């Protein structure tokens, strides 16, 4: 994790304080409905293994993370999105 980049706890704390606050991208664009058919948007929120990226990582708000999760799961069911990558075991 990113903790390893810092030598002392104080250094880590200072960086944490000055770090830019993550903003929900859907809130920024005033998106209310996240479509499951729009896989270009959904793919930004899954990692290379096909896992949904956590809220603390992506910076999404709770509302949009819930909507996003549902959209990704629907897309997976319709084979628009992968459940997992074939390259990993």
Binding region for Zn ion (CB under 5 A): 24, 26-27, 61, 64
Cα distances from 88 to residues 17, 19, 58, in angstroms, run 37, 33, 23
Q: Report the nearest approach of Zn ion to the CB of residue 2 (Å).
A: 23
Q: Report the nearest approach of Zn ion to the CB of residue 32 (Å).
A: 9
Cβ distance 41 to 80 under 8 Å?
no
Beta bridge partners of 46: 52
**Which is closer to Zn ion, CB of 52 or CB of 82?**
52
**Which is closer to Zn ion, CB of 7 or CB of 30?**
30
Q: Report the nearest approach of Zn ion to the CB of residue 48 (Å).
A: 24
Segment (H or E) for 58: helix 55-58
Which residue number is nearest to Zn ion in terms of Cβ? 24
């Amino acid at each position: 994790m990113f903790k390893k980049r810092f030598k002392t706890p104080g250094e880590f704390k200072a960086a944490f304080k000055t770090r830019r606050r993550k903003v929900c991208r859907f809130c920024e664009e005033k998106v209310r409905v996240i479509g499951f058919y729009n896989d270009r948007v959904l793919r930004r929120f899954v990692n290379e293994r096909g896992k949904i990226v956590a809220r603390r990582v992506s910076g999404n708000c709770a509302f949009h993370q819930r909507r996003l999760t549902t959209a990704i799961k629907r897309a997976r069911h319709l084979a628009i999105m992968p459940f997992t990558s074939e390259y990993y075991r």
